[in-house]
């Protein structure tokens, strides 16, 4: 399931993040430092040093926005979120076809996080750079995505995906992974569709008894499928 999460960040937050990322003292490093065996062979970009003060500062802004966005919560059903990271593509940089690693070690404590869902939050206006599309291949077919600044795409971490070469300008983005309460993408999709239907019925003030029954079905399925 691919879900477009609009307006995760507002204009002020975007301006602040871009100013901090464009600063002369921003700790950009070779993006291959965090790539696995598969990714290091096809990855060519820069990213803010993981564990740096800047990564933590900007990551906290993104995490705060995630907590307040009902569409993200409904679609992803987050259990744990990997600390957000930030990358930059320019001058032909790209990231070839790859599948994200299934397990990540959380910085600082070494706890394991299962990567059920991948997320890319676009930070640069699409008209400011050429190329840089996020191309995702999965059971839903092939999708090429280039969203407005402040918008985010969430998609199964099991998907084959790539970032096309950036031939003009600079592509800035935030990326991270989520361990969901429900590891199976098909089950998450059913719960997401059911949640949307309940919200639409509520908005139209449909029969209350039926809405209560459907809400009970939602929570009983979540209880059945949840890892927690």
Kindly list the distances between the CA atom of residue 153 and the CA atoms of 16, 22, 29, 53, 179, in Å, as whole numbers in the listed order: 21, 23, 24, 25, 16
- Do the Cβ atoms of 78 and 72 come closer than 8 Å? yes
Provide the residue ranges of all domains of the chain, joining segments of one domain with +: 3-180, 185-225
Band of pLDDT at residue 35, cut at 50, 70 and 90: confident
Indicate the CATH number of 185-225 among 1.25.40.10, 3.40.50.300, 3.40.190.10, 4.10.860.20: 4.10.860.20
pLDDT for the residue 40: 77
pLDDT for the residue 115: 98
Task: Give the model confidence (pLDDT) of 100-145 as tens digits.
Answer: 999 999 988 889 999 999 999 999 999 999 999 999 998 888 999 9
Task: Give the model confidence (pLDDT) of 53-93 as tens digits.
Answer: 999 999 999 999 999 999 999 999 999 999 999 999 999 99
HEC profile of 150-166: CCEEEEECCCEEEECCE
Domain range 3-180, CATH class: mainly beta
Question: What token pair was written down for 64?
Answer: 């705060």
Mean pLDDT score across all residues of the chain: 95
- Do the Cβ atoms of 121 and 58 come closer than 8 Å? no
């Amino acid at each position: 399931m691919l879900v477009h999460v609009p307006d995760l960040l507002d204009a002020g937050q975007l301006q602040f993040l871009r100013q901090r990322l464009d600063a002369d003292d921003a700790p950009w490093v070779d993006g291959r430092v965090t790539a696995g065996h598969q990714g290091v062979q096809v990855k060519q970009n820069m990213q803010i040093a993981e564990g740096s003060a800047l990564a933590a500062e900007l990551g906290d802004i993104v995490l705060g926005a995630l907590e307040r966005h009902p569409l993200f919560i409904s679609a992803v059903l987050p259990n744990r979120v990997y600390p957000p990271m930030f990358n930059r593509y320019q001058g032909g940089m790209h990231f070839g076809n790859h599948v994200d690693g299934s397990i990540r070690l959380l910085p600082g404590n070494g706890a394991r996080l299962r990567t059920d869902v991948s997320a890319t939050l676009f930070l640069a206006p699409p008209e400011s750079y050429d190329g840089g599309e996020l191309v995702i291949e999965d059971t839903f077919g092939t999708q090429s995505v280039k969203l407005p600044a402040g918008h985010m795409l969430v998609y199964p971490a099991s998907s084959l995906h790539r970032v096309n070469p950036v031939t003009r300008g600079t592509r800035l983005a935030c990326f991270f992974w989520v361990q969901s309460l429900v590891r199976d993408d098909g089950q998450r999709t059913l719960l997401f569709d059911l949640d949307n239907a309940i919200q639409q019925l509520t908005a139209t003030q449909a029969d209350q008894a039926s809405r209560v029954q459907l809400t009970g079905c939602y929570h009983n399925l979540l209880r059945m499928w949840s890892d927690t």
